[in-house]
């Protein structure tokens, strides 16, 4: 397992807006550009960026003749937009040539017991992505959920996909742990932890699982992969790949 190519599991992630990074738009654009270039230079699986940066990534990746994939987030970070807004944002990302779409599922609707709404969202978002041969990921925001809710929403997504799509689609629909932007109290983890990932793996199978947020070291990343995680989202992909410890929380 140690001979694993860790870089092919890493979704190198930069999702801060200029305001969140405390930078001017121009300065933040430069950070994004450098980040995309680092992803290309390092040969990570994918660069995960905001929708308005997808065209920039496409330009840089094409110029470098790189195989790096482009991922973006939809309805980020709260997931509470109306379904038609979610789909419109995803459609635009598809037109801008994103390869993977990470939707924040309306986990608050799920918590309110609005299960049919969540199922409808899963079907519509997966259908749009899969019909354009895109990878689709549903972010469930584990830090906002109880263990029981993590089990239930992972199973809900799995069962909805199995009931509505062909088996060959399953590997293209991920359940993903976190946005990395959820505000927790008392310093509690806001991203993937081993216990939450185990719950997701047990209840999302056969759908693949992506661990995002909180993976800071190569050992942590390898531990997740040994459990069965297929992707890891991190803002510190190079630090992890180099075997160092990241101070970032995403």
- 16 among known catalytic residues: no
- 30 among known catalytic residues: no
List the catalytic residue out of 45, 86, 176, 238.
176
CB of 201 closer than 8 Å to CB of 229: yes
List the catalytic residue out of 86, 134, 158, 210.
210
CB of 17 closer than 8 Å to CB of 28: yes
CB of 102 closer than 8 Å to CB of 176: yes
CA atoms within 13 A on the CB side of 150: 22
- 176 among known catalytic residues: yes
Question: Hunting for tokens 């994918």 — which residue is that?
Answer: 46
List the catalytic residue out of 53, 102, 158, 238.
102
> Which residues, at least 6 apart from 59, have a Cβ–Cβ distance to it below 8 Å?
none
Instruction: Choose among 79, 153, 94: nearest CA to 127.
Output: 94
Question: Which residue numbers are catalytic?
Answer: 102, 176, 210
């Amino acid at each position: 397992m140690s001979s694993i190519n860790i870089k092919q599991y890493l979704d190198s992630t930069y999702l801060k807006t200029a305001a969140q990074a405390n930078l001017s738009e121009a300065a933040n654009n430069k950070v994004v550009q450098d980040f995309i270039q680092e992803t290309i230079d390092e040969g990570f699986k994918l660069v995960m960026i905001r929708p308005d940066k997808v065209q920039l990534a496409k330009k840089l990746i094409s110029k470098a003749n790189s195989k790096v994939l482009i991922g973006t987030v939809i309805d980020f970070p709260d997931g509470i937009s109306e379904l038609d807004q979610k789909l419109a944002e995803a459609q635009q990302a598809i037109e801008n040539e994103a390869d993977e779409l990470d939707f924040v599922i309306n986990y608050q609707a799920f918590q309110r017991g609005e299960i049919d709404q969540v199922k409808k969202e899963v079907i519509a978002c997966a259908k749009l992505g899969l019909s354009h041969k895109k990878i689709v990921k549903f972010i469930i925001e584990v830090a906002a959920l109880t263990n029981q809710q993590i089990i239930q929403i992972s199973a809900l997504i799995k069962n909805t996909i199995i009931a509505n799509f062909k088996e060959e689609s399953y590997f293209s629909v991920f359940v993903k742990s976190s946005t990395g932007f959820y505000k927790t109290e008392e310093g509690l983890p806001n991203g993937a932890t081993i216990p939450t990932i185990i719950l997701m793996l047990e209840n999302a199978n056969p759908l693949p699982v992506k661990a995002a947020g909180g993976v800071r070291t190569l050992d942590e990343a390898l531990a997740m992969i040994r459990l069965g995680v297929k992707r890891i989202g991190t803002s510190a992909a190079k630090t992890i790949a180099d075997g160092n410890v990241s101070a970032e929380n995403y």
